[in-house]
Structure 1
Amino acid sequence: MTQQRLVVIGGDAAGMSAASKVRREDPKREIVVFERSPHTSYSACGMPYFIAGLVDGPEKLVARSPEKFRDKYNIDARTGHEVTELDLGNQRVRVRSLADSSEAWEAYDQLLIATGAEAIFPKLPNSDSDGIFGLSTLASGIRVQQFMDQQLPRRAVVVGGGYIGLEMAEALVRQGLQVALVERGEQVMGTLDPDMGALVSDALREIGVELYLNESLTGYEAANGLVTAVVTDQRTLPADLVIVGLGTRPNSSLAAAAGITLGEKGSIRVNPRMQTSAPNVWAAGDCAESFHLVSRKPFHVALGTVANKQGSVAGINLAGGYATFPGVVGTAVSKICKYEVARTGLMEREINGLGLKYKTATTKSKTRAGYYPGAGWITVKLLAEQGTGRLLGGQIVGQEGAAKRIDVLATALTAGMTVQQIVDLDLSYAPPFSPVWDPVQTAARQLLGSSD
């Protein structure tokens, strides 16, 4: 019997998680991975901290190199190779070598699409100038650092107030740059409700970031091929360096061109086993659709945690086992200097979109016992369904020790718990870690109308 051949498109979190899982289950399977960048299995989330100087070098962000995959795991990881076409009828992919532009067809018995997400980078006047960067791969982060080392910029503009934008604003402040941030919304962090997003905006101003809200990017100014300014619909901001953090979209064009069904936000539609609409074709990671456990609707999110889990599920199934991906609750966390930001579940506008009646409570308390050194402020917002008391979402903004409390709420959402059940949880207490009533439970008690 001929040994089956697995081809994986994409060598980061989902792709290499799946390939590694298949290898553990099937030592003889032929596994070939095509990755267009120079790196495999790296932490894209770590790029802002590398640029901030908190990580010694980009190699620290690489979990396993292509050489390690080849030599230790017998996975043929071919970096610098881009898949340009899928031929589903003949079960083959067209691959182009970026080194010499040569092309060849590669056959597969099973195909995993793990092409990730791509940075949204609008084509605007002078957008091809040097000094303007989007961040989506480790290679792009390295290019930012090299530009900073060579050009020594003094003024930076970050376009977009999402996770990458905020983390890069902090990184550039740490490196001594004057930083401005342009956001088309009324507050940064559009995954929070406006009242909580306002706290994050205040935190940015506190560290010296100039905020320009309700403004849209219209283009750039440049001289001698270098960016000199960012142009919005209201002003021109001088800039020696620009980070475009307008979010990402699923990199699903290959699948779409081959006729594979797409879903939420253009992600590749998959069933719980990560199978696509095409025979013998699977998808996982930032390019693939998820399922939201609270809204009970298809959902798309680009996070390394989800990508690794989906990749592992795909790998088990590709190896002949059986596994399903249950879904997500939309948990995410970020940091702006001493401030921590976290969210999970649904926001108010999402709940309104579902037609649910809900109630909210927002409390401000301390991360530790108030008398213990180092206690900081923490603001917790909870949203629950009226009548049933079912938790629908939670948001947290605070100082050290605040953000990871979101995991209690993520667990509660996954379990379908009510606000009363959150109050009843036997959470740990000691003055260095929490007040007697944990801030999450304090918010839950207020939501229930409990007295102090």
Structure 2
Amino acid sequence: MTKIVVIGGVAGGMSAAARARRLDENASIIVLDKGPYVSFANCGLPYHVSGEIPSRDSLLLHTPETLRAQLNLDVRVNSEVTRINREERTVTVNGPEGTYTLGYDTLIYSPGSKAATPPVTGLDHASVHWLRTVPEMDGLIARIEGRSEFDAVVVGAGFIGLEAVEALAHRGGRVTLVEFAPHVLPPLDSEQAEWVDRELRKHGVRVVTGTSVEAISDANGAARVRLSTGEVLPADLVVMSTGVIPDSSLAKDAGLELGLRGAIVVDGYLRTSDPHIFAMGDAAAMRQEIGDGDLIAPVPLAAPANRHGRRAADAAVLGIGRAADRVDDAHQAPRVLGTAIVRVFDLTAALTGANRRTLSAQEVDHITVHVHPADHAGYFPGAEQMHITAHFAKDTGELLGAQIVGGAGVANRINVFATALKARMTANDLADLDLAYAPPFGSAKDPVNMTAFVAQNILTGQMPVWYSEDLEQVAREALILDVRSATECEDGMIPGALNIPHTEVRDRIEEIRKASAGRWIAVHCASGVRSYLATRILIGHGFDARNLSGGALTLDVTRPDWKQNPS
């Protein structure tokens, strides 16, 4: 009888254990988890804090009893593995019944991650909580139970931090969000993050970026949070959401190969440097399919952990990856795109693939597209605007990454982009996608198609572009032509810009020629559509004309001080 021991439950471990049972009815499968809950919806914790998921029991997906009944798994909670002996193929377990040793033929290691603890004094204060496990959620709720109003400080503006902010605001909290990075949701490009920042502030959240927490002290049972700026914030509750690191100490002690951030190095079949030990989830170093595809790092996301748990069980039970003549040997664990999505009050932010920072660090030559389409046909009631940023390889046109911030329809489109990334589609491929259309759901030219159309125009040179971050240089070198209506321009213009509505450009060509005085022409409108038409007209008349990517909507979030009211 094959003996399989799984360390860690929840996403990766339980997926692996369940798959292993489906593949081998006779194997002995023991799951060891150091916590009291082996299978719970950790992604749902913030939504129970907010009250949207009213029943705590809804988060508890399985118990040892249900897993034994359904899958004949021997699940042992409150059982911490303290040592892996690779030579003897045993693990030492400290459980409710004492300390004992278990032998294994195959060990599946999915310990997850642990909170990254910043160098802050006072983290042991009673007001300080994390939100990663059910007991941590219980403690957080107990801290604010019965209070209709309270002061809360959330440290860290990543996905969990933003979910915590929303949950606490729903419960009546006066929330301050503190983020060390220059903007909230650091994986987003800065112009996309600004939309999220505005949504937070619209709902009464105070946002403090580029700032760290230095110390937490007591104030009659509440807390005082001192920031690096010297400001002190009162807090009844402090939620730490400063990221995670792989919980790989056991693997290190056992001599397994570790990589970036201490993550366990695995091959395409999730096999570690020991052929009898597999690893997945937050603790494993996965190859990420972003940029040049050579980045190998942990990816603390639930969806990849579930998929990789299944794949590890395939390799462990079926021997996939050992026999060269097996057809399914070619199916290795997929590279990770980092696809993620979060709701922030009435806004949704989503991303997949590489952001601009990663592409620049890897020196990938690329172009960036900004578009602002509606989620469905504009003439059908309820259309909501979304903001899309996408990056394409300059030489091949291949999609490298995409981000969307908006209301309805964001999840659908980010999943299309993620699929396109997996298939290594180009702008031409995306432009030709045959996507479902009816007025309540989309447009005849879907936002995904529109993104690709713009990319095609840039890549082929049919629409040269300039970017908002280059505004000062552009103002020195070019004539800035604002082709919005005169009414729109009453709200403010780029200093020194010439306003000629796009419908008048043909008739005023000589005026533009005189004003440009041999300079190139930087065209812009509100979103980039009308200025594209004007750019094509100007190019047809021999001008060096370029269109502002994303128009004033993008300029407004990257350079909010761009407007000067006409005198």
- 2:67 is matched with 69
Shift of 1:122: 2.9
Measure how far apart 1:232 and its partner are: 1.0
Corresponding position: 1:196 with 2:192 = yes
Quick check: 1:84–1:94 contact (8 Å CA) kept in 2?
Answer: yes
Query: Aligned partners of 1:256 and 1:135: how far apart in 2?
Result: 26
Name the amino acid aligned to 1:392: L
Counterpart Cα distance in 1 of 2:258 and 2:86: 16
Give 2:355's match in structure 1, choosing from 347, 358, 370: 347
Instruction: Work out whether residues 58 and 142 of structure 1, in 8 Å CA contact, stay in contact via their aligned partners in 2.
Output: no
Which of 108, 121, 130 is the matching residue for 1:134?
A: 130
The CA distance in 2 between the partners of 1:267 and 1:151, in whole Å, is 41
Deviations 1:138-186 (A, max 9, x none): 2222221222226766011100010000011001111111111001111
2:49 matched residue in structure 1 = 51
Q: Which amino acid aligns with 2:414?
A: I
Aligned equivalent of 2:407:
399
Provide the residue aligned with 2:223 in structure 1: 228
Q: How is 1:148-163 mapped onto 2 (pairs within 5 angstroms)?
A: 148-149=144-145, 154-163=150-159
Quick one: which amino acid aligns to residue 27 of structure 2?
A: R
**Partner Cα distance (2:224, 2:100) in 1:** 43
| Cα deviation, residue 405, structure 1 | 0.9
1:40 corresponds to = 38
Q: What is the distance in 2 between the residues matched to 1:432 and 1:302? A: 35
Q: Distance in 1 between matches of 2:260 and 2:413?
A: 29
Q: Structure 2 matches for 1:324-339, cutoff 5 A?
A: 324-339=332-347
Residue matched to 2:206: 210
If you compute each CA radius of gyration, which structure gives the higher value, 1 or 2?
Answer: 2
Q: Give the Cα–Cα distance (whole angstroms) in 1 for the partners of residues 153 and 288 of structure 2.
A: 34
Equivalent of residue 261 in structure 1, options 257, 260, 267: 257
How far apart are residue 422 of structure 1 and its match? 0.5
Partner of 2:10: 12
Aligned-partner SS, 1:296: coil
User: What does residue range 72-83 of structure 1 map to in structure 2 within 5 Å?
Assistant: 72-83=70-81
| Cα distance in 2 between the residues matched to 1:275 and 1:367 | 43
Separation in 2, partners of 1:78, 1:153: 40
Distance of 2:202 and 2:392 partners within structure 1: 32
Give the SS at the match of 2:283. coil
Report if aligned partners of 1:44, 1:137 keep a CA contact under 8 Å in 2. yes
The separation in 2 between residues aligned to 1:124 and 1:416, in whole angstroms, is 43
> Which deviations, in whole Å up to 9, do the C-alpha atoms of 1:203-262 show, x marking residues without a partner?
1111111001111111102146x4412211111111000110111111111101111011
Conservation of the 8 A alpha-carbon contact between 2:6 and 2:110: yes
Equivalent residue letter for 1:185: A
Aligned to 1:186: 182
Q: Given residue 95 of structure 1, which amino acid in structure 2 is its aligned partner?
A: V
Among candidates 6, 19, 29, match of residue 27 of structure 2: 29
1:295-374 to structure 2, matched below 5 A, reads: 295-297=292-294, 298-322=296-320, 324-374=332-382
**Aligned letter for 2:150?**
R
Name the aligned partner's letter for residue 317 of structure 2.
A
Distance 2:114 2:339 in 1: 21
- Paired AA for residue 312 in structure 1: R
Change (3 A) 1:152 1:95: farther
- Does structure 1 retain, via aligned residues, the 8 Å contact 2:119–2:214? no
1:285 pairs, out of 281, 284, 290, with 281
Tell me the distance in 2 between the aligned counterparts of 1:442 and 1:205: 30
Match of 1:417 among 425, 434, 442: 425
Of 253-262 and 399-408, deviating more is 399-408
C-alpha contact (below 8 Å) 1:379/1:397 kept by paired residues: yes
d(CA) in 2 for partners of 1:204 and 1:403? 20
Provide the C-alpha distance between the structure 2 equivalents of 1:152 and 1:269, rounded to a whole number of angstroms: 48
Give CA-to-partner distance per residue, 1:4-61, whole Å, 9 cap, x none: 2111110111111111111111111111111111112221111111111010222212
Match of 1:427 among 425, 430, 435: 435
Whether contact under 8 Å (2:118, 2:242) holds in the other structure is no
Partner Cα separation in structure 2 for residue 34 and residue 227 of structure 1: 37
Q: 1:91 touches 1:107 (CA, 8 Å); kept in 2?
A: yes
Of stretches 209-218 and 362-371 in structure 1, the one that deviates more from structure 2 is 362-371
Instruction: Report if aligned partners of 2:216, 2:225 keep a CA contact under 8 Å in 1.
Output: yes
- 2: distance between equivalents of 1:255 and 1:79? 20
Q: Which amino acid aligns with 1:76?
A: D
**TM-score, normalised with respect to structure 1:** 0.95
Between the aligned partners of 2:5 and 2:254, the Cα distance in structure 1 is 16
Structure 2 counterpart of 1:244, from 225, 240, 248: 240
Q: CA deviation at 1:195?
A: 1.1
Structure number with higher relative contact order (C-alpha < 8 Å, ≥ 6 residues apart):
1
- Stretch of structure 1 that moved more, 366-375 or 46-55: 366-375
Q: 1:164 aligns with which of 160, 164, 186?
A: 160
Paired residues of 2:427 and 2:452 also in contact (CA < 8 A): yes
Contact 1:376 1:398 in 2 (8 A): yes
**Post-superposition shift, 1:443?**
2.0
- Is residue 2:119 matched to residue 1:111? no
Bigger mean CA deviation after superposition, 403-412 or 442-451: 442-451
TM-score (normalised: structure 2): 0.76
Task: Name the counterpart of 1:84.
Answer: 82
Q: Distance in 1 between matches of 2:117 and 2:19?
A: 34
CA contact (8 A) 2:370 2:387 kept: yes
1: CA distance between counterparts of 2:119 and 2:212? 14
Write the deviation string for residues 103-126 of structure 1: whole angstroms up to 9, x where unpaired.
222221211110011122335322
Query: Which ranges of structure 1 fall in alignment gaps of 5 or more residues?
Result: none
SS in 1 for 2:441: coil
Provide the residue aligned with 2:215 in structure 1. Answer: 219
Measure how far apart 1:373 and its partner are: 2.0
Contact (CA 8 Å) 1:132, 1:227: kept in 2 or not? no
Q: 1:287 to 1:152 in 2, by over 3 A?
A: farther
Deviation of the 1:402 alpha carbon? 1.8
Deviations 1:379-416 (A, max 9, x none): 00111111211111101000122233101111111111
Task: Say what the alpha-carbon RMSD is for the aligned residues.
Answer: 1.6
Give the whole-Å Cα distance in 1 for the aligned partners of 2:442 and 2:355. 26
Matched, 1:145 2:153: no
Residues 338 and 326 of structure 1, relative CA distance in 2, 3 Å threshold: same
Aligned pair count?
447
* Residue 273 (1) aligns with residue 269 (2): yes
Give the 3-state SS of the residue equivalent to 2:373 in structure 1. strand
Where 2:132 maps in the other structure, the secondary structure is: coil
Q: Name the SS of the counterpart of 1:112 in structure 2.
A: strand
Q: Percent identity?
A: 35
Q: Is the 8 A contact 1:217 1:231 kept in 2?
A: yes
